Structure 1
Amino acid sequence: MDIDITTSGSPVRLVLRGALTIAQVSGLTRRLDTIDATAPVVADLSGLERMDTAGAWALVTLRTRLEQAGQSLEISGASDQLVSLLKTVTDALPQPETEARHPTTLRTRIEAVGKAVVQTAQFLLALISFFGLFLARLARAVRHPSEFRLTALVHHCEDVGLRAVPIVALMSFLIGIVLAFQGSSQLRQFGAEVYVVNLLAISILRELGILLTSIIVAGRTASAFTAAIGSMKMREEIDAMRTLGLDPAMVLFVPRILALILMLPILGLVSDVMGLLGGGLMAWVDLGISPAMFVTRLVEGTDISHVAVGMIKAPFFAVIIGIVGCHAGMQVQSNAESLGRMTSSAVVTAIFAVIVADAVFSVFFAQIGM
């Protein structure tokens, strides 16, 4: 292939002869890049014997670069076949999406707020419908025990509960140490170091134990539920279940959510015990409160209602985490980007919902005096 570029004068002349195919396109591209986009270009294709889509792409790319600089590319001497090929390649190139810029006014701001409120309401209604679906399938499992997946329930109990014990125990142990250390530093100013036991008991048993455990489970389990169900949806396994006469809600949702309901209170108890153990150890080291004195103060100064408040929250938090994770999994589309987006969204939504529910429970128990 012969390439002749004449840059003297305006317009710049480009003469191509021979065959312009994918074998020559790299050399042509390097030569075309040397053309300065400060003057129009006339390309003479009368000497071209053959051109494929790669060669047409090189010429179209040159035209685009010139047009962006305010210049133009004129094709001369091209046969109808070459002109048609250039048009086809031009039409096939992806066009950048340009969104129309709308001025920001009070109306657009109110409209954006309204859309956000409507979307939030629709999302909450979808979660409520998923909760109703879970209750319906759970009632069906009670009426027809043969349809219940006991093996799946045991598997998910192990995955959700047993495998989460180390991280929950370590987190609670360290939180107990931090609470005891910070509490003793403040109470020492008033000579009330012994009340650090009451501080630990109320804060861990009533709030922090089950709340932090639920946050860890939300990050660990909600993402796992979304990833597992979303991957099955991407591979069309859920459609295959329906084809085989299997109910995805009975097979996928009920064992997972029920496992969370059963295991989260147990994890909460583990968290309470390890938090008190860490706090007692720090109280012994920092304040000289012996384990026997710590246990005595714990038993005498702590009401059983604090433990009950924490345990009452656990099943509700479990339902929230399970519903959010399963719902996000069912919203996954047939691409990996959607799976990653919904997985992260499930974690954020579950953690936020758990914290909001804990705040509601705190107000409720304060109103009833518990």
Structure 2
Amino acid sequence: MSTAAIGPGLVSSSLGQAHRLRLSGEWTATHADDLEELVEETAKQLAGRQVALDLEQVSRVDTVGALLLDRLRRMIVASGGVSVIEGGRPEQRILIDAVATDTPRESVPPAKKGSAALMLVADIGRGVINAGNDLKAWMSFLGAIVVTLGRVIVHPSKFRFTSFVHHLELVGLRAVPIICLISFLVGAIVSQQSIFQLRYFGATIFVVDLIGILALRELGVLLTAIMLAGRSGSAFTAEIGSMKMREEIDAIRVMALDDIEVLILPRMLALIISLTLLAFLAEIAALAGGCVVALVYGGISLDVFLARLHETLTMDSFLVGMIKAPFMGLVIGLIATIEGMKVEGSAESLGIRTTASVVKSIFMVIVLDGIFAIFFAAIGL
């Protein structure tokens, strides 16, 4: 066995491929320059070896010394060797372990990029995987909500009626003006454009059929769902996300309360009921907008408009639109609340999750509308 002094504060003992480094003295910021040079030299000499760092003779270690010890260990490991730390007082080992935990590891160099087509396929693959993960999370969360709803039905006293009424007012009542205004304007625009085109065929009267069926089957409920996704869905995500950031949800759980029962269920039910009622008002407003334009721009009298509307519309057209409303409300509420629960401890995370909530909600509303359109066409509605 051979022994050689590598420098002040460190002695190396070797036996075959195994090496023991006996550290001594003070590993502190006072000797930072000397120790940093010593660490670099030692790491080069012992690259790829099995090394044990013995701290028995170290009198003092501060954060700088702990960082340098951790750097020495990581440099030996990075060169293909093995490094362990032995001995030392408990407080020294605690400091070294804490520094090793908090020290950022060297980032793995990015893989060499392939062709643009290959990268596009990779991005699509990642998107599909993320979509699958989101779907699983939504189904799991929906299951928890259904279980909570069942428990509340069995024990009605657990239902947060005050919270439900509060959110019913915020989501439903206060949204009436903007929903009716937007629906009225869209109905008027659709009617004007339809009249402009139908005049070429002498079929202006058919604008009543078009605006009536479109408003009841698609326009009213779809506009309402998109508006509530941006207005109320984002608010739900921001509210729950802020509570998550301030650890209020953890406090609710500590008090033995169910966070889904307290926070999620009243919002979900309020959103479902509000969207259904607002969809009905949106349909009426869209018909009113179309009627005004037909009267002023198309020269169709009110009596003729109402008579034609009565002949054209059926209960099926009304039900097709209204049946979709609760499901769209469920999807918006589900996405909004689960995105809020995913918020982490930063304002950036809150902004990202709020944006994701609105985008995913609008996308899923349109997808759901397409699914319902296929279903109703298949059953002849």
The answer to whether the aligner puts 1:304 opposite 2:315 as a matched pair is yes
Pair 1:235 & 2:235 matched: no
Residue 42 of structure 2 corresponds to: none
Do structure 1's residue 226 and structure 2's residue 237 form an aligned pair? yes
**2-structure distance, mates of 1:139, 1:95:** 48
Q: Structure 1 stretches (4+) deviating beyond 4 angstroms?
A: 91-99, 105-112
Q: Could you say which residue in structure 2 is the equivalent of 1:100? A: 110
CA distance in 2, matches of 1:307, 1:215: 19
Instruction: Return the offset for 1:363.
Output: 0.7
Separation in 2 of the partners of 1:197 and 1:326? Answer: 40
Amino acid at match of 1:133: A
Identity of aligned residues (%): 46
Partner of 1:342: 353
Change (3 A) 1:173 1:99: farther
The equivalent position to 1:277 in structure 2, one of 281, 288, 293, is 288
Which amino acid is 2:279 matched to? G
Q: If the length of structure 2 is used for normalisation, what is the TM-score?
A: 0.71
TM-fit CA distance, 1:301: 1.4
Classify 1:184/1:113 alpha carbon distance in 2 versus 1 (closer, same or farther; 3 Å): closer
Measured in 1, the distance between the counterparts of 2:288 and 2:378 equals: 31
Question: 1:171: which partner in 2?
Answer: 182
Q: Does 1:326 align with 2:364?
A: no
Structure 2 runs not aligned, ≥5 long: 1-28, 34-63, 72-98
Structure 1 residue matching 2:297: 3-state secondary structure = helix
Question: In structure 2, what is the equivalent of residue 315 of structure 1?
Answer: 326
Q: Distance in 1 between matches of 2:328 and 2:355?
A: 19
Mapping 1:1-370, distance limit 5 Å: 99-104=109-114, 110-370=121-381
Gaps of 5+ in 1: 1-51, 57-83
Residues 236/303 of structure 1: CA separation in 2 closer, same or farther (3 Å cut)? same
Q: 1:96 to 1:168 in 2, by over 3 A?
A: farther
Alpha-carbon distance between aligned partners in 1 of 2:329 and 2:255, rounded to the nearest angstrom: 30
Aligned pair count? 287
CA separation in 1, counterparts of 2:328 and 2:109? 42
Distance in 2, Cα, partners of 1:158 & 1:292:
36
3-state DSSP of counterpart to 1:287: coil
Please give the alpha-carbon distance, in whole angstroms, between the structure 2 residues aligned to 1:216 and 1:288: 32
Cα offset, 1:287, TM superposition: 1.6
Q: 3-state DSSP class of the match of 1:176?
A: helix
Cα distance in 1 for partners of 2:231, 2:213 equals 26
- Measured in 2, the distance between the counterparts of 1:103 and 1:177 equals 52
Q: What are the Cα deviations for residues 131-156 of structure 1, in whole angstroms up to 9, with x where unaligned?
A: 11111111111001111000000001
The two structures, once aligned, show a CA RMSD in angstroms of 2.5
Cα separation, 2, equivalents of 1:143 and 1:301 = 45
Q: What SS class does the counterpart of residue 198 from structure 1 fall into?
A: helix
- Alpha-carbon deviations, 1:275-321, whole Å to 9, x = none? 00010000000121111211111111111111100000000000000
Q: Deviations over 1:327-352 (max 9, x none)?
A: 00000001111000000000000000
The residue type paired with residue 278 of structure 1 is G
For residues 250-286 of structure 1, the C-alpha deviation after alignment (integer angstroms, 9 at most, x for no partner) is: 0011000000111111100110111000100000001
Q: Which amino acid aligns with 2:110?
A: A
Distance 1:206 1:285, change over 3 A: same
2:230 maps to amino acid: G
- Give the CA deviation at 1:204: 0.7
Give TM-score, length-normalised by structure 1. 0.73
Shift of 1:199: 0.4
| CA deviation string 1:92-150 (max 9, x = no partner) | 99999795351215776655443332221111010111111111111111001111000
Deviating more after overlay: 287-296 vs 308-317: 287-296
User: What residue identity is the alignment partner of 1:326?
Assistant: T
